[in-house]
Amino acid sequence: MIQVLTSVWALLIGVVLIMLGNGMHFTLIGLRGGIEGFSSAELAIVTSGYFAGFLSGARLTPRMIKRVGHVRVFAALGSFTSAGLIAFPLIAEPWAWTALRVILGFCMSGIYVTAESWLNDSSTNETRGKVLSAYMIAQTLGIIGAQGLLTLGDAGTSALFIVASILVSISFAPILLSASSVPVTEAARPMGLKELFSGSPLSTVGIFLLGCVYATQTGMAAVYGTQIEMTTVQIATFVAMLFAGALVFQFPIGWLSDRMDRRKLIFGASMVAMAACTLGWISGNNLMFMMSAAFVAGGMTTPLYALFLAYTNDFLPLEDMPAASGGLVLTFGVGAILGPLIAGWSMEHLGAQSFWLVLAMTFAVIAVYALYRMTRREALPVEETESYVSVLPTASPMAVETAGVWAAEQAEAEAEAAAEEAAAEEAAAEETAAEAEGDTTKDETPKA
């Protein structure tokens, strides 16, 4: 692992800095929006704007790269991102913030595509899985660290927005200076919804609903904290707990995923998350209960994303996986746009605690649908499933496609190794039987 990190450390540092700046701005929107007097519905629209831009960027960036190259696209998107972050405190209007969020979502998606292209080009078939894992950990640590930086300033001033802009600006230096080659960026055309649903109904429906959950958690958590009058430190801790849980639960859920029916694991993780959100709903603003609920609910969300991707790949040939991954990212993005709008409307009309209620009900629908799908299709034998790979919802289609193909190749390699081992054991058994037969024949030969 140390050898792998040595080859990509500069890229990973750049990713951490990007996530520090982007993670700060996500929480700052809720904090500053509350100070400016924005309603929950208005902040929900602002939140959804980011995911609308992100979805557009994922589709258009590969075309831009083909036209003008990686470096120019990366530099241009970085400039717009830095400018957009500084502009938030200058124009404190919901319509302006929504437009800025669309721009930031578009730019960040393009930045991820470009950075992940370089990261993928810097790894080999043997190291790609470890590089992907390191990349996902770097992203998560950056988001968690961003919440700590928020406690060092006042959301009512421009200082924290400026800090976020600076972090994003300097993040490009290690990436550009370490990326010597020009990688090939080919994003597969997303698989159509009808074909995707036909191949894996559970993943199609589940990942749409999970998009609603993830965007609500990341975009509306700070709004919820502001409405129930949490302090800045408490809000930052609350958001950090969502991602800290993902770090803790990712490995055990991934370990279980390769050893049992994934539908049962999806059902179980959704039920656990629903229970955690129900606890948050009935907590009566008890800080300890809310932090625990955020830790568990957030800890289930990210592994569920990777579970749905892995479950889809279980039923697809290798050549269809990139297109299916693109289709799932698109489906997730649509859910991410709608999720905050539903949560914002609920918080506006039913009170702040409906933040938890919306999340609990969405997880419940995922669990019920997973239970239903268990009655419609036989479970795939564990030895025939693809390998589980940690993939974050913040990853672009580039990383998702790479992870899917790598998982399939690993599963294929494991199957070939198992077949070779079985053949070797069979040959050894035949040789042992032949030797035993020879000894028996020798013993039965009559003596002169």
* CATH number of the domain that residue 32 is part of: 1.20.1250.20
Q: Which two tokens stand for residue 102?
A: 């669309």
Task: Kindly state whether residue 432 falls inside one of the protein's structural domains.
Answer: no
Task: Kindly state whether residue 56 falls inside one of the protein's structural domains.
Answer: yes
pLDDT of residue 448: 45
Percent of the chain whose pLDDT exceeds 70: 82
pLDDT of residue 272: 95
Q: Which helix (H) or strand (E) holds 360?
A: helix 354-374
pLDDT of residue 338: 94
**Segment 346-350 mean pLDDT:** 91
pLDDT, tens digit (0-9, with 9 covering 90-100), for 94-114: 999 999 999 999 998 888 877
Domain housing 394: 2-181+191-418
pLDDT, tens digit (0-9, with 9 covering 90-100), for 125-138: 667 667 777 888 88
Is 47 or 112 the better-scoring residue by pLDDT? 47
Instruction: Give CA angle at 377 (376, 381), nearest 5°.
Output: 155
Q: What is the chain's mean pLDDT, rounded? A: 83
Lowest mean per-residue pLDDT among 263-272, 296-305, 381-390: 381-390
Instruction: Give CA angle at 142 (363, 245), nearest 5°.
Output: 35
Lowest mean per-residue pLDDT among 30-39, 200-209, 421-430: 421-430
pTM: 0.85
pLDDT, tens digit (0-9, with 9 covering 90-100), for 366-394: 999 999 999 888 877 776 666 667 777 77
pLDDT at 115 over 80: no
pLDDT of residue 166: 93
Task: Kindly state whether residue 408 falls inside one of the protein's structural domains.
Answer: yes
pLDDT of residue 10: 77
pLDDT at 442 over 60: no
Task: Kindly state whether residue 173 falls inside one of the protein's structural domains.
Answer: yes
CB atoms within 10 A of CB 347: 26
Lowest mean per-residue pLDDT among 178-187, 191-200, 208-217: 178-187
CB atoms within 10 A of CB 392: 21
pLDDT at 213 over 80: yes
Question: What does each C-alpha distance from 98 to 53, 84, 88, 266, 423 come to in angstroms?
Answer: 10, 11, 10, 34, 61
The CA distance from 235 to 217, in Å, is 12
Number of domains in the chain: 1
pLDDT band, residue 14 (cuts 50/70/90)? confident
Q: Are 104 and 23 in contact (CB under 8 A)?
A: no
pLDDT of residue 147: 92
**Segment 192-210 mean pLDDT:** 86
Task: Kindly state whether residue 300 falls inside one of the protein's structural domains.
Answer: yes
**Segment 164-172 mean pLDDT:** 89
pLDDT of residue 408: 63
Residue that is written with structure tokens 């025939």 in the block: 384
| CB neighbour class for 365 (10 Å; exposed up to 12, middle 13-18, buried from 19) | middle
Q: Which two tokens stand for residue 51?
A: 């995911």
Lowest mean per-residue pLDDT among 11-20, 142-151, 214-223, 346-355: 11-20
Task: Kindly state whether residue 427 falls inside one of the protein's structural domains.
Answer: no
pLDDT at 222 over 60: yes
pLDDT of residue 439: 62
pLDDT, tens digit (0-9, with 9 covering 90-100), for 61-97: 878 877 887 778 888 888 899 999 999 998 889 999 9
Q: Which two tokens stand for residue 16?
A: 């951490």
